[in-house]
Amino acid sequence: MLLSLMLLIVLGLTVADEGPVGIALRRWLVEAPARLLARLSRGRMLGLGLVVLLGVAAILLFEAEGVRLFSMAAPDMIAWVLMFDVTVIFDLVILAIGLRAVAGWRGLVRQRDMALSRAGALIGRIRRGARSRGGRTRKPGAPRSPSSDGEPDPGFAFA
């Protein structure tokens, strides 16, 4: 049935090529699908291929139920794929993961630098403290001269 329909279309395109019927057939059967196919991007083709792959997997895994499941889900999946360019979404996901990883590495580098600076400051403080204490020796004070006063030091007297 489909083969005979296809042969009739090809025959109509070749016989009535120059007439108004041939021009109308060419517009509807050649130019319109070519325009639609020219609009498809690489990402959309990948997405449609993914939908077909999911359909084949569903049919192989679930047999008759897979056919029913895929026939119900296919229009929504195809609309989703044609609405969003899947490669753009994939690129955005990869970009988000990459930015998160870079931010994590930057934070890790900052923490390392902060820990090294704190450790360096602590070691410097310890070294300065050891040097300053070791260099300070108290000189013995000059002996007090004995008082020429014969009276004892003042004190409290209880009566």
Per-residue pLDDT of the chain (159 residues; tens, 9 = 90+): 889 988 988 887 788 777 887 788 788 888 999 998 898 888 778 878 888 998 899 889 988 888 898 889 888 888 877 776 667 777 888 888 887 777 777 777 888 889 899 998 988 888 887 665 555 566 777 777 666 666 666 666 665
Compute the distance between CA of residue 60 and CA of residue 54 in angstroms, rounded to an integer: 10
User: What pLDDT does 76 receive?
Assistant: 86
The pTM for the full model equals 0.36
pLDDT of residue 154: 65
What is the b/e burial string over 88-123, where b = at least 16 CB atoms within 10 angstroms of the residue's CB? eeeeeeeeeeeeeeeeeeeeeeeeeeeeeeeeeeee
Res 133: pLDDT: 55
How many C-beta atoms lie closer than 10 Å to residue 70's C-beta?
A: 19
Sorted by where each begins, the domain ranges of the chain are 39-84, 85-132
3-class state of residue 139 by DSSP = coil
pLDDT value of residue 53 = 92
